[in-house]
C-alpha cells in the first residue's frame, strides 16, 4: 500500500473516532435537556462512527498495514441552543465527506483499486450521513422551535434503532 494512503487512512480512523466523541457530546447535551430522542439519535450516530473507524482498522490489518491510533481532541460540549448541535453535525459530515473524497482521489492516483473499492462504501455512507443531517435541520426548522414541535420531533427520533454495519 502506498505510504501516504496508509497514513491518511490511519488519520481517518482518528477522524471517525473524533466524530463518535463529537456525537456523544451532542447526545449528552440533549439527554441533559431531557430530550431523550435527540440524545438517542446522536448516541446511535456515535456508535456508527465507531463502526466506521473499526472498519478502517480491519481493512488496514487485512492489508497487513500498521494501524496507528492518534490522540482525539475534546469536542464542543457547551451548546447555546437545541439547533446548534444539529447545524454542527451537518458541517462536520460535509467535512468528513471531503476527507473521504481526498482518500478516494489518492487511492485512484496511486492505482490502489482495492482501496477504491473499499472507499466506495464510505462515499455512499457520506451521502446518507449528509442527507440525515439535512433532514434533521429541516425537521427542526419545521417545528418552529415550538416546544410542542420539538417534543414531537423528539418522540420521532426516539424510534431510531442502532443497526451495526456488516463485517466490522
What does the pLDDT look like over 29-51, one tens digit per residue? 999 999 999 999 999 999 999 99
Whole-number mean pLDDT of the chain? 96
For the stretch 114-158, pLDDT in tens is 999 999 999 999 999 999 999 999 999 998 888 999 999 999 999
Average pLDDT of the residues in 2-21: 98
The CATH topology of domain 3-157 is Ferritin (1.20.1260)
Cα radius of gyration (the chain): 17
CA distance 16 to 64: 21
pTM: predicted TM-score of the whole model, two decimal places? 0.93
* Separation between Cα atoms, residue 47 and residue 58, nearest integer Å: 16
Q: How far apart are CA 119 and CA 103, in angstroms?
A: 8
- Tens digits of per-residue pLDDT, 71-83? 999 998 999 999 9
Domain extents for the chain?
3-157
Percent of the chain clearing pLDDT 90 (strictly above): 93
Amino acid at each position: 500500500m502506498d505510504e501516504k494512503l496508509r497514513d491518511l487512512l490511519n488519520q481517518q480512523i482518528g477522524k471517525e473516532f473524533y466524530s463518535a466523541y463529537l456525537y456523544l457530546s451532542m447526545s449528552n447535551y440533549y439527554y441533559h435537556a431531557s430530550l431523550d430522542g435527540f440524545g438517542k439519535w446522536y448516541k446511535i450516530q456515535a456508535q456508527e462512527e465507531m463502526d466506521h473507524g473499526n472498519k478502517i482498522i480491519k481493512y488496514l490489518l487485512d492489508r497487513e498495514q500498521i494501524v496507528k491510533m492518534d490522540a482525539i481532541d475534546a469536542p464542543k460540549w457547551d451548546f447555546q441552543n437545541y439547533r446548534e448541535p444539529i447545524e454542527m453535525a451537518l458541517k462536520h459530515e460535509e467535512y468528513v465527506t471531503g476527507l473521504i473524497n481526498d482518500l478516494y482521489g489518492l487511492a485512484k492516483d496511486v492505482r490502489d483499486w482495492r482501496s477504491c473499492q473499499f472507499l466506495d462504501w464510505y462515499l455512499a455512507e457520506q451521502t446518507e450521513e449528509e442527507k440525515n443531517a439535512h433532514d434533521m435541520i429541516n425537521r427542526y426548522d419545521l417545528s418552529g422551535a415550538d416546544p410542542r414541535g420539538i417534543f414531537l420531533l423528539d418522540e420521532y427520533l426516539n424510534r431510531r434503532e442502532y443497526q451495526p454495519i456488516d463485517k466490522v
